[in-house]
Amino acid sequence: MWSNGGALLDAYDDVRARLFVRLEGLTDDEYLWEPVPGGWSVRPGADGVFRAEKIEPDPAPAPFTTIAWRMWHIAVECLHVYVTTAFERVEIFEWPGAAAVWPGTAAEAVAALDAQFTRFRDQMSKLDDEALAGSAGPFAAELSVHTYGGLLLRALDESTHHGAEIGLLRDLYRHRPRARPPRRGHSCQYP
């Protein structure tokens, strides 16, 4: 029997699977790579704890963000916050505060992102189509998604959008210019 919730969860699982295939073999250098100066990343503070950089409200234009920051954004600003506010009904008063803490290594970040994908899916899988049409609370309304179904679509959108960006950054990292030794037998000098 067709279920809107089931179809949306299938799409969520597909997006998750594609992202985690793209994260296979992610190195720490790649995870923290900054192809342009002045961007946001995940950096250690004076206490040695890694935190995502964030300013509220977001500046316009938004700064460039690293793979590390985008993983934090999907896991914490999206999935964690959606579960905390819509299912647990806990308001987040101090932002980003403790929510900015994020792993400084690729392997730990992949595991943390996976945990948040699982946590969100576990909550959504408890809802039938009728419950998906129910109010997800005041925070969801701030996102202009008033229902649990709308929140699931928002999670799909954020995960797809930023997951694709992560994939592109991995491609750019792999094909970035590097110093190459001169080829033998060529006397041409290029500026």
Please state, in angstroms and as integers, the Cα–Cα distance from residue 109 to each residue in 92, 150, 174, 177, following that order. 22, 27, 20, 26
pTM attached to this predicted model: 0.88
pLDDT in tens, 45-82: 999 999 999 887 888 999 999 999 999 999 999 999 89
* Cα–Cα dist 23/30, whole Å: 10
Describe the crossing of helices 4-23 and 148-174 by its angle, rounded to 10 degrees. Answer: 20
In this prediction, residue 149 carries a pLDDT of 92
In this prediction, residue 93 carries a pLDDT of 55
pLDDT in tens, 130-150: 999 998 888 777 777 889 999
Write the CB contacts of 51 (distance below 8 Å, at least 6 apart in sequence).
42, 43, 44, 45, 96, 100, 101, 102
pLDDT in tens, 88-102: 877 765 555 666 889
Averaged over 154-174, what is the pLDDT?
Answer: 96
In this prediction, residue 85 carries a pLDDT of 86
* Cα–Cα dist 124/119, whole Å: 9
**Is residue 6 pLDDT above 90, yes or no?**
no
pLDDT in tens, 28-49: 999 999 999 999 999 999 999 9
Write the CB contacts of 17 (distance below 8 Å, at least 6 apart in sequence).
none
> Residue ranges of the alpha helices (H) in 136-179?
138-142, 148-174
> Nearest 10 degrees: CA dihedral of 44, 46, 49, 52?
-50
Write the CB contacts of 26 (distance below 8 Å, at least 6 apart in sequence).
67, 106, 107, 110, 170
Q: How confident is the model at residue 183 (pLDDT cuts 50, 70, 90)?
A: low
In this prediction, residue 146 carries a pLDDT of 83
In this prediction, residue 182 carries a pLDDT of 59
In this prediction, residue 190 carries a pLDDT of 43
